């Protein structure tokens, strides 16, 4: 057959396009004619997970009608999951439930009233100014999102820090990848992965721990699966997870340990690597040092060996329980160390742990010990859950302790650098980091924060132990502004709801997991009076400046005055951020201008200091001379790898001595089960978007609890029975799914459901990692009981009460 | 079956140039056209005809454990217990317009699928729904329409909702390089996949449909 794959794709394009038009149409010529009618196709990035899939939006008569993948893209290679194919149904006037007008109520028990933008911005400015005047600068806060565009996070934090002089700038990435940040900085000295997705096609061993990639990142999972299936005998997949998930399906080895014993398991793998001399001595001597404790005390190799001696596979197999045997640990360690290139992949299973940073460190340890870094296929790769957690929040300064471009708030030099670049007086940004997420909502509970702006996220559902924090959000003396596109659990508690534009209704950049910044340009109009956040912040800041009589606040938005909000305004913000703030930093994005980003099918991976470099796609692997322009620039010696990360003055990789540490709450006689939570493929986070796509909602109308068949038998629970899941904090009643997924003694619940009875974050625990401040969503103790037989259930989404 | 065999052997003997399968095709064709003719007739006096036709068809199935359609209407006493006991309200009784089938139970899996709680088979007093186990249920067989299924028909789409919702994942349904494949030996025909399927075709069918292939077995007396 002389038919290449590409030609085949082309030929089927017409057919393919037919179903792009709408899933409700059958295959026929009539429909393919329809698809060709889409007037224009606009490049952009998927709104949902952190994979950064590139896609095109089909627009017909100003209406979004279809989405399709871009085959030239280096992230998804044209593939899309169903969420990515269907979210055009939320754009413009396609969805009747979109928020279209600013809504206000003075008291939280009153119904909302429609008001004009002028009134809304006045109210927001007055309330924030009132709080600042009466209770000080730290009585106001911004809680953002890894889904906001980089421009949005940047301008929000600029106004909060430079204008309102507070570091109370946080975001939901604290709940999902703060531990990964901590891990990368403490182990490698620089945030974000060294390599990129290209390693999927080059790795010969995958170590997937604490990630259900198949459901959470289906498009990336396809690449892993492809690699495995094309090289069945040479590529090994190890999956370590207390739950058998769809990801385990392709695994050669499944390590099912009891929740909370992961640190011991990782140390045991290090034990085997040392015991069997599988480490790379040259790599360790050239690039690594050993450290321990809070004071980062340097120790030597022998001390590390002595530390790891405590974690023999025989001993650890007993700690880990589940299906773990010493042989399995040894096998995993051998595959890991001996392969041509080993790639570790993890997400929330590792990050959302009481000692998430340590768990991250221990994975990095294995890579440093075996030299599985910087070479093709070798990487220690944390996947991100949100489309712009990396680009916007980690790089853009969206957390309480960091300023844009990986600068720490507490470092005077870096803080003053930012003040200078912004042209505001030195000392304007306070030196003390603000409240981290849990502390911020604790402060709301205690009435210390009087005005809070929540943008593009729903903490009322996504915070652990959310009932506790909803109490604070319900307080009458806490003024809450929520900017969102749909009603959520959080808008229910707001004073002021501001309708915003959705992706493709505004312009801006998303930065995905692999350091790649990708631009989406406006293609359709936002419904009603919904506005882009950048415009909202600019107008609000101008009013704040007047209310507080503070010209510096105005100064913060001065470069952006008079720009039209759909393209020129975000472009000006992006230019300021990239050209001024990232200059000379490790995430140098000066080459990635809007012009460059628009030319590329996907985007640019930083470091990209020049346009020429950016046009090539940027840096595939960091720290390698010849591949990373900054590695050449910072080179101190002749070694091929230069770990120039700003956080490690010795320019070395650090191997950490981290002991096993269990979860905060262990099962006991009263609450004998482990409870873990996670995502399902068809829904994304709080399902405020995916729940509104009929096809997706139908596929998974409500959350359920997965119970191991052995436990179900003991408790007399049959499939479909209504089961009560109770912890010390709250109670849920969900239908049971009896399934060999979770290990014995563990139950698993999906967290997307908005129904009060099935909202699992009312049950989870808000203990957090003292290092990264990321809560331990993944483990708490609960008890389960059958309450009734099966019941017909209805899907539930928060609606706006008229 | 007898008739077909006869015809085929006759062909062979008389040295008919048509290969066996072609003559079979001919037969099927003629049967088909007869069927169409019949349909045409029946549409003229639809009421009278449907009184005797089984209401069981694609995605419209009998509850678990049902005896074949041949004897279902004579065995079922229309007590309605299965309808009453179904916690999901998936089982519906047919009304008078269904002729001899009036009062018998049906599951419209596209609307509400069968969650295989097996409560109905326990309460059936006549054994019309035989007391079987969950995994022995054969309400039908799920069939993927590979032209309509986005994962099969499109090069670049990843959907596996049917796989996700299947109660016998990895047994009744598997993924072949991320594309769903039904294993007929284990498929119960519960219809959860039909209900979940994100593609609705113009004719109302999904990209995966349950065909009641077991309902029309002939009963040996």
- CATH of residue A541's domain is 3.40.50.740
Establish if A212 belongs to a structural domain.
yes
Nearest to A759 by CA among A717, A796, A719: A796
Structure tokens at A370: 């075996």
Rounded distance, CA A616 to CA A621, Å? 13
Q: What is the DSSP string of B142-180?
A: EEE-TTT-HHHH-TTEE--HHHHH-TTBTTTEEEETTEE
Rounded distance, CA B60 to CA B209, Å? 10
Q: Would you call B196 and A698 a contact, using CB atoms and an 8 Å cutoff?
A: yes
For residue A739, give the CATH number of its domain: 2.40.40.20
A721: domain range? Answer: 673-788
Residue B8: other Cβ atoms inside 10 A: 16
Domain-terminating residue out of A566, A592, A614? A566
Q: How many structural domains does chain A have?
A: 4
> Closest approach of chain B CAs to the CA of A12, in angstroms?
8
Instruction: Select from B199, B207, B209 the residue whose CB has the most chain A CBs within 10 Å, as the one to mutate to test that interface.
Output: B199
How much is the pLDDT for A12?
A: 44
Cβ-in-10-Å burial (0-12, 13-18, 19+) of B102 comes to middle
Orientation angle between helical segments A356-370 and A262-275, nearest 10 degrees: 20
Asked if residue A112 and residue A90 are part of one domain, the reply reads no
How much is the pLDDT for B98?
A: 83
- Residue of chain B nearest A14, judged by CA positions: B154
How much is the pLDDT for A33?
A: 36
> Closest approach of chain B CAs to the CA of A44, in angstroms?
17
> Closest approach of chain A CAs to the CA of B177, in angstroms?
8
A410 touches chain B (CB under 8 A): no
Rounding to the nearest 10 degrees, give the CA dihedral for residues A260, A264, A270, A276: -130
Q: What is the mean pLDDT of each run of 10 residues along chain A (802 residues)?
A: 49 40 38 59 93 93 92 91 92 93 94 95 96 95 95 95 94 93 94 93 95 92 91 94 90 94 95 95 94 91 94 95 94 95 94 94 95 94 93 92 93 94 93 95 95 95 94 94 95 95 95 94 95 95 94 93 94 95 92 94 93 93 92 90 92 94 94 94 92 90 94 93 95 92 94 94 94 94 94 90 64
Interface of B with A (CB under 8 A): 87-89, 112, 115-117, 119, 134, 147-148, 150, 153-161, 164-165, 167, 170, 175, 177-178, 195-203
A8 touches chain B (CB under 8 A): yes
Structure tokens at B120: 């109905």
Establish if A801 belongs to a structural domain.
no
Rounded distance, CA A736 to CA A742, Å? 13
How much is the pLDDT for A15?
A: 38
Q: Would you call A26 and B203 a contact, using CB atoms and an 8 Å cutoff?
A: yes
Domain-terminating residue out of A43, A77, A94? A94
For residue A191, what are the contacts with CB-CB under 8 A and spacing of at least 6?
A: A181, A184, A185, A394, A406
Establish if A600 belongs to a structural domain.
no
Residue B174: other Cβ atoms inside 10 A: 16
Asked if residue A186 and residue A166 are part of one domain, the reply reads no
Place of tokens 């974050």: A761
Establish if A23 belongs to a structural domain.
yes
Asked if residue A204 and residue A132 are part of one domain, the reply reads no
* Nearest-by-Cβ selection for B153 from A27, A86, A681: A27
How much is the pLDDT for A32?
A: 39
Top-confidence residue, A483 or B160: A483
Asked if residue A210 and residue A153 are part of one domain, the reply reads no
Q: Would you call B156 and A68 a contact, using CB atoms and an 8 Å cutoff?
A: yes
Nearest to A679 by CA among A316, A386, A434: A386
Establish if A411 belongs to a structural domain.
yes
Establish if A601 belongs to a structural domain.
no
Asked if residue A746 and residue A691 are part of one domain, the reply reads yes
Asked if residue A50 and residue A87 are part of one domain, the reply reads yes
Top-confidence residue, B130 or B98: B130
Q: How does residue B41 score in pLDDT terms, banded at 50, 70 and 90?
A: very low
For residue A203, give the CATH number of its domain: 3.40.228.10
Establish if A584 belongs to a structural domain.
no
Asked if residue A561 and residue A447 are part of one domain, the reply reads yes
């Amino acid at each position: 057959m002389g038919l290449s794959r590409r030609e085949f794709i082309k030929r089927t394009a017409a057919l393919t396009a037919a179903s792009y038009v709408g899933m409700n149409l059958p295959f026929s010529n009539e429909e393919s004619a329809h698809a060709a009618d889409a007037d224009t196709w606009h490049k952009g990035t998927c709104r949902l997970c952190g994979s950064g899939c590139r896609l095109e939006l089909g627009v017909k008569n100003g209406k979004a009608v279809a989405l399709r993948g871009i085959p030239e893209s280096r992230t998804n290679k044209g593939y899309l999951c169903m969420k990515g194919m269907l979210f055009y149904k939320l754009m413009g006037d396609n969805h009747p439930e979109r928020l279209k007008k600013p809504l206000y109520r003075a008291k939280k028990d009153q119904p909302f009233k429609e008001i004009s933008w002028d009134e809304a911005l006045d109210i927001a400015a007055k309330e924030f100014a009132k709080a600042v005047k009466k209770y000080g600068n730290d009585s106001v806060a911004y809680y953002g999102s890894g889904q906001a565009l980089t421009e949005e996070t940047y301008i929000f934090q600029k106004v909060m820090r430079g204008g309102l002089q507070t570091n109370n700038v946080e975001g939901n990435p604290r709940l999902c990848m703060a531990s990964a940040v901590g891990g990368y900085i403490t182990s490698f000295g620089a945030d974000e992965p060294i390599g990129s997705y290209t390693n999927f096609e080059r790795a010969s061993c995958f170590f997937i721990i604490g990630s259900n990639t198949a459901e959470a990142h289906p498009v990336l999972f396809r690449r892993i699966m492809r690699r495995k299936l094309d090289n069945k005998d040479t590529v090994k997949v190890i999956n370590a997870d207390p739950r058998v998930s769809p990801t385990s399906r392709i695994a050669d080895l499944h390590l099912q340990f009891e929740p909370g014993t992961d640190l011991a398991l990782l140390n045991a793998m290090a034990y085997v690597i040392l015991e069997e001399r599988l480490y790379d001595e040259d790599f360790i001597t050239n690039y690594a040092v050993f450290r321990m404790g809070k004071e980062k005390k340097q120790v030597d190799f022998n001390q590390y060996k002595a530390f790891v001696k405590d974690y023999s596979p025989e001993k650890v197999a007993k700690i880990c329980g589940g299906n773990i045997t010493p042989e399995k640990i040894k096998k995993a360690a051998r595959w890991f160390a001996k392969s041509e290139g080993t790639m570790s992949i993890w997400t929330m299973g590792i990050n959302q742990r009481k000692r998430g940073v340590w768990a991250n460190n221990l994975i990095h340890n294995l890579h440093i010990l075996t030299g599985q870094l910087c070479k093709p296929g070798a990487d220690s790769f944390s996947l991100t859950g949100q489309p712009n957690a990396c680009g916007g929040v980690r790089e853009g300064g969206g957390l309480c302790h960091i300023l844009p471009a990986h600068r720490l708030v507490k470092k005077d030099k870096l803080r003053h650098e930012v003040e200078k670049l912004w042209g505001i007086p030195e000392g304007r940004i306070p030196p003390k980091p603000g409240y981290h997420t849990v502390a911020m909502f604790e402060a709301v509970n205690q009435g210390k924060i009087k005005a809070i702006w929540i943008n593009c996220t729903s903490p009322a559902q996504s915070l652990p132990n959310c009932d506790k924090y909803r109490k604070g959000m319900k307080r009458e003396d806490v003024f809450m502004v929520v900017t969102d596109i749909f009603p959520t659990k959080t808008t229910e508690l707001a004073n002021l709801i501001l309708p915003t534009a959705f992706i493709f209704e505004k312009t801006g950049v998303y930065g995905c997991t692999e350091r790649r910044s990708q631009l989406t340009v406006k293609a359709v109009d936002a419904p009603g009076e919904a506005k882009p956040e950048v415009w909202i912040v600019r107008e609000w800041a101008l009013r704040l400046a007047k209310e507080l009589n503070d010209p510096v606040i105005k100064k913060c938005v001065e470069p952006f005055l008079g720009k039209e909000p759909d393209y020129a305004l975000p472009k000006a913000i992006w230019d300021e951020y990239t050209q001024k703030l990232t200059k000379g930093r490790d995430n140098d994005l000066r080459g990635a201008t809007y012009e460059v980003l628009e030319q590329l099918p996907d985007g640019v991976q930083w470091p990209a200091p020049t346009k020429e470099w950016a046009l090539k796609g940027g840096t595939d692997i960091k720290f390698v001379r010849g591949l990373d322009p900054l590695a050449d620039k910072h080179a101190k010696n002749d070694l091929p790898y230069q770990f120039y990360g700003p956080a490690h003055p010795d320019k070395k990789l650090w191997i950490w001595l981290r002991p096993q540490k269990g979860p905060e709450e262990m099962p006991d006689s009263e609450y004998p089960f482990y409870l873990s939570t996670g995502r399902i493929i068809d829904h994304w986070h709080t399902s405020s978007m995916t729940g509104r796509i009929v096809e997706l909602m139908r596929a998974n109308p409500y959350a359920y609890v997965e119970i191991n068949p052995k436990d179900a038998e003991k408790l007399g629970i049959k499939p479909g029975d209504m089961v009560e899941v109770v912890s010390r904090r709250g109670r849920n009643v969900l239908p049971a799914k009896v399934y060999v997924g979770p290990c014995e003694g563990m139950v698993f619940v999906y967290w997307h459901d908005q129904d009060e009875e099935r909202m699992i974050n009312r049950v989870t625990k808000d203990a957090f990692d003292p290092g990264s401040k990321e809560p331990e969503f993944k483990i708490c103790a609960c008890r389960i009981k059958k309450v009734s037989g099966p019941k017909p259930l209805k899907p539930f989404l928060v609606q706006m009460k008229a | 079956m007898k008739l077909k065999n006869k015809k085929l052997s006759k062909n062979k003997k008389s040295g008919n140039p048509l290969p066996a399968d072609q003559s079979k095709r001919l037969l099927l064709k003629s049967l088909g056209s007869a069927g169409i003719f019949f349909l045409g007739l029946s549409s003229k006096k639809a009421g009278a005809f449907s009184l005797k036709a089984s209401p069981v068809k694609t995605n419209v199935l009998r509850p678990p454990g049902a005896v074949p359609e041949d004897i279902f209407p004579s065995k079922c006493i229309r007590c309605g217990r299965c309808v009453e006991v179904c916690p999901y309200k998936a089982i519906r009784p047919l009304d008078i317009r269904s002729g001899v089938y009036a009062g018998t139970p049906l599951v419209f899996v596209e609307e509400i699928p069968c969650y295989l709680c097996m409560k109905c088979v326990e309460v059936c007093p006549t054994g019309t729904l035989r007391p079987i186990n969950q995994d022995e249920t054969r309400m039908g067989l799920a069939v993927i329409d590979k032209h309509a299924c986005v994962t099969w028909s499109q090069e670049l789409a990843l959907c596996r909702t049917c796989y996700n919702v299947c109660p016998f994942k990895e047994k009744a349904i598997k993924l072949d390089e991320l594309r769903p494949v039904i294993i007929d030996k284990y498929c119960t025909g519960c219809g959860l996949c039909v209900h979940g399927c994100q593609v609705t075709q113009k004719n109302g069918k999904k990209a995966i449909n349950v065909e009641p292939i077991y309902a029309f077995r002939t009963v040996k007396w």
